Amino acid sequence: MDRNQNIEKRILWVAERLFLEKGFSGTSTTEIAKAVGCNQALIHYYFRTKEKLFWDVFSPKVEQVVECLDAPLDENIGFFDRVRNIIDFYFGMLELDERLAPFIVNELIMHPARWEKFRERYLQSESRSSAFNRFELMVEEESAKGTIRNVLPIDILLNVMSLCISTFIMAPMGYARGECDSSTRKEYLTHRKQDVTELIINGLMPPRQ
């Protein structure tokens, strides 16, 4: 954006855009340099390797996409509205930048090793966020009351993530039955968000007897 910014930040900023659009293997340091308006050697001067530059872009994005499941904080609302809030917030975050979901998923597929650094942080029960722990408690409570079916809290969140992210992965097919204009796109996203919400909420109900 601003020509006179710190060059290191400009490189990071341009790299972010290009990595998001074309992935790690699809983007060359030469290309980044050209877009920044500097020499390719400068990229390596600041970030030493392409891998390291990528990590500096990738890492905050992963945190965003995973930790965002925690975000909508304690208001005094019922369980189902709480779940609705989670979906709303999560979907909204992905909608803010539609390149985010494909970017993360692509890297998860192509370089699973990069995730090992996150596994510990997100899967060990000791290091789980307090928001997750509170959510877990709510689920157990509702389960005991019999207001929801028997289900693990982590599965609820996995299902929410899967359905939201898939919406954006499939978008290029979904809203392009012929033409790709932005109103068709918006319509597709709105419709999917609504159906995902209904599915999750309805799917939580205890089975009829």
Partner DNA sequence: GTCTATAAGGAGATAGAC
Partner DNA sequence: GTCTATCTCCTTATAGAC
Nearer to its own copies, 47 or 188 (CB): 188
- Residue 85 to residue 23: CA distance in whole angstroms: 31
Q: What residue type is assigned to position 164 of the chain? A: C
Query: Are 106 and 168 a contacting pair, CB within 8 Å?
Result: no
Residue 12's binding partner among DNA, its own copies, none (Cβ under 5 to 8 angstroms by kind) is none
Nearer to DNA, 37 or 203 (CB): 37
User: In Å, how far from its chain's centre is CA 124?
Assistant: 20
- Residue 130 to residue 102: CA distance in whole angstroms: 28
- Say what angle helices 100-110 and 7-22 make with each other, to 10 degrees: 80
Q: Which of 151, 153, 184, 185 binds its own copies (CB under 8 A)?
A: 151
Q: What residue type is assigned to position 23 of the chain? A: G
Stretch touching its own copies by CB under 8 A, among 20-28, 46-54, 82-90, 132-140? 20-28
Any contact of residue 153 with its own copies (CB under 8 A)? no
Any contact of residue 138 with its own copies (CB under 8 A)? no
Any contact of residue 45 with its own copies (CB under 8 A)? no
Any contact of residue 184 with its own copies (CB under 8 A)? no
Q: Which of 158, 186, 187, 190 binds its own copies (CB under 8 A)?
A: 158
- Radius of gyration in angstroms for the set of CA atoms belonging to the chain, rounded to a whole number: 20
Q: What values do phi and psi take at 77, rounded to 5?
A: -125, 165
Any contact of residue 159 with DNA (CB under 7 A)? no
Binding-residue pattern over the window 20 to 49 for DNA, x denoting contact by CB under 7 A: -------xxxxx------xxxxx-xx--xx
Binding-residue pattern over the window 45 to 84 for DNA, x denoting contact by CB under 7 A: x--xxxx---------------------------------
In angstroms, give the least distance from the CB of 6 to DNA. Answer: 8
User: In Å, how far from its chain's centre is CA 96?
Assistant: 10
Stretch touching its own copies by CB under 8 A, among 45-53, 71-79, 138-146, 154-162? 154-162
- Interacting residue ranges for DNA, rule: CB under 7 A: 7, 27-31, 38-42, 44-45, 48-51
